[in-house]
């Protein structure tokens, strides 16, 4: 499944390119909106997470929605097990989200002139966050793939589930941007990874329930 996703992506190059373009435009807009004023570490973490959240709900639902629109979903149902379909899509979405997230956060800290005091924690939070975001959005896009107005609906139902997680992300990232302490951040980092693990653990089970015809 993952090989198929990668082959389709390399053939069309539209998914990743669109996600990266969206991320770049978003951070440029955010950097311009601050009008050259310095942004605190806590606020910068919030801005980065909101941008990541919207990048995820805009770019990731495409993985399932396009299968239904192109009429290839039934072929997948015949050829692959639900678990392999979920894992293939989820890992591919994680790869797209990791590239998009690193680009988005990297460009934003450079443009807004924010000092990253701990690059290791910054990367750890970003990778864990992208993992959790892609797991949840993959499941939500599978839920709505056969619904009416599915393009908008995937984002609409995924956002309320992800906003509590953004709170953890902001709390975890603040430390790497010079605010707060490690003792205050590590429980949030742990929370992010637990959220990701929970999403990937129950995701295939739930997915099987909606993927069956």
**SS3 assignment, position 81:** coil
Q: Which residue has the tokens 């072929």?
A: 75
User: Shortest gap between Cβ of 13 and other proteins (angstroms)?
Assistant: 30
User: Shortest gap between Cβ of 135 and other proteins (angstroms)?
Assistant: 10
> How many chain residues interact with other proteins (CB under 8 A)?
29
User: Shortest gap between Cβ of 16 and other proteins (angstroms)?
Assistant: 26
Return the residues of window 178-197 that contact other proteins according to CB under 8 A: 195
| 201 touches other proteins (CB under 8 A) | no
| 144 touches other proteins (CB under 8 A) | yes
Q: How wide is the angle at C-alpha 22 spanned by C-alphas 56 and 10, nearest 5°?
A: 80
Q: Which residue has the tokens 């909101």?
A: 50
- Asked if 60 and 138 count as a contact pair (C-beta separation under 8 A), the reply is yes
| 167 touches other proteins (CB under 8 A) | yes
Q: Tell which residue, 45, 46, 62, 146, has the closest CA to residue 96.
A: 62
**CB proximity list for 33: less than 8 A, separation 6 or greater:** none
Q: Which residue has the tokens 């941008």?
A: 51
| 28 touches other proteins (CB under 8 A) | no
Q: Which is nearer to other proteins, 22 or 206 (CB)?
A: 206
Q: Which is nearer to other proteins, 6 or 159 (CB)?
A: 159
| 143 touches other proteins (CB under 8 A) | yes
């Amino acid at each position: 499944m993952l090989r198929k996703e990668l082959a389709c992506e390399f053939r069309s190059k539209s998914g990743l390119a669109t996600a990266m373009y969206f991320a770049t435009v978003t951070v440029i807009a955010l950097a311009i909106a601050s009008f050259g004023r310095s942004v605190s570490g806590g606020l910068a973490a919030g801005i980065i997470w909101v941008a990541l959240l919207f990048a995820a709900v805009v770019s990731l639902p495409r993985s399932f929605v396009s299968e239904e629109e192109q009429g290839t979903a039934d072929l997948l149902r015949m050829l692959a097990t639900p678990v392999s379909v979920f894992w293939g899509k989820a890992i591919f979405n994680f790869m797209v989200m990791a590239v998009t997230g690193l680009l988005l956060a990297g460009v934003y800290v450079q443009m807004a002139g924010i000092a990253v005091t701990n690059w290791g924690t910054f990367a750890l939070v970003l990778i864990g966050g992208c993992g959790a975001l892609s797991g949840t959005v993959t499941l939500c896009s599978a839920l709505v793939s056969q619904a009416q107005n599915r393009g908008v609906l995937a984002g609409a139902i995924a956002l309320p589930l992800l906003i509590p997680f953004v709170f953890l992300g902001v709390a975890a990232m603040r430390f790497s941007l010079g605010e707060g302490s490690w003792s205050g951040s590590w429980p949030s980092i742990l929370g992010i990874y637990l959220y990701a693990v929970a999403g990937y653990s129950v995701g295939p089970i739930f997915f099987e329930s909606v993927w069956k015809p």
